[in-house]
């Protein structure tokens, strides 16, 4: 029985040692795992992202189509004698675009000032005929730097205050 006893004891020691080693290894792994919970994961290694180019398209502009030019409807010119030197006139009929006051009568004159719809001016000179319009030289009564030749089609005589 002595021989069996030793064999049985040796075998048991071997199993106990293996169990102890497994327990210690598991505890060690658990400790490492639980301590890493608050640590952010290591950043991913930099990589290259390939973005495909869009499909090639034609860069040619579309061919122009012919369309009739829009007809510009001008307000009628006031009757002769209605506008006179010294009269106050108000810009009207520009559709909010304003009236160009030019350095000389005619459409080729350089624009000096853009008079706003309903703005009032005093007629200082005129009339002059050019490019199918009757032109009057206007000066703003409140600012002499705002002046120029304007087509009468966009002027309405107003009463002095």
**What pLDDT, on a 0 to 100 scale, did the predictor assign at position 69?**
56
- The model's confidence at residue 79, banded by pLDDT at 50, 70 and 90, is low
**What pLDDT, on a 0 to 100 scale, did the predictor assign at position 15?**
64
Element (H, E) at 3: helix 2-35
Higher pLDDT, 124 or 25: 124
**What pLDDT, on a 0 to 100 scale, did the predictor assign at position 153?**
93
Q: Which of 123, 43, 60 is nearest to 90 (CA)?
A: 123
Is 3's pLDDT higher than 90?
A: no
Q: Which of 11, 152, 159, 137 is nearest to 93 (CA)?
A: 152
**What pLDDT, on a 0 to 100 scale, did the predictor assign at position 50?**
74
Is 31's pLDDT higher than 70?
A: no
pLDDT, mean over the chain: 78
Q: Please name each of the domains of the chain with its CATH number.
A: 88-158 (2.30.30.40)
């Amino acid at each position: 029985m002595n021989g069996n006893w030793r064999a049985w004891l040796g075998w048991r020691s071997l199993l106990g040692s293996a169990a102890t080693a497994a327990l210690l290894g598991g505890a060690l792994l658990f400790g490492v795992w639980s301590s890493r919970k608050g640590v952010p994961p290591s950043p991913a290694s930099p990589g290259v992202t390939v973005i495909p180019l869009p499909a090639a398209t034609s860069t040619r502009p579309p061919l122009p189509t012919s369309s009739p030019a829009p007809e510009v409807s001008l307000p009628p010119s006031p009757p002769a004698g209605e506008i006179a030197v010294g009269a106050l006139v108000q810009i009207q009929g520009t559709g909010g675009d304003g009236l160009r006051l030019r350095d000389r009568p005619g459409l080729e004159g350089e624009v000096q000032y853009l008079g706003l719809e309903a703005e009032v001016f005093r007629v200082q000179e005129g009339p002059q005929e050019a490019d199918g319009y009757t032109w009057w030289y206007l000066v703003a009564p409140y600012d002499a730097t705002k002046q120029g030749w304007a087509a009468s089609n966009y002027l309405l005589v107003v009463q002095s205050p």
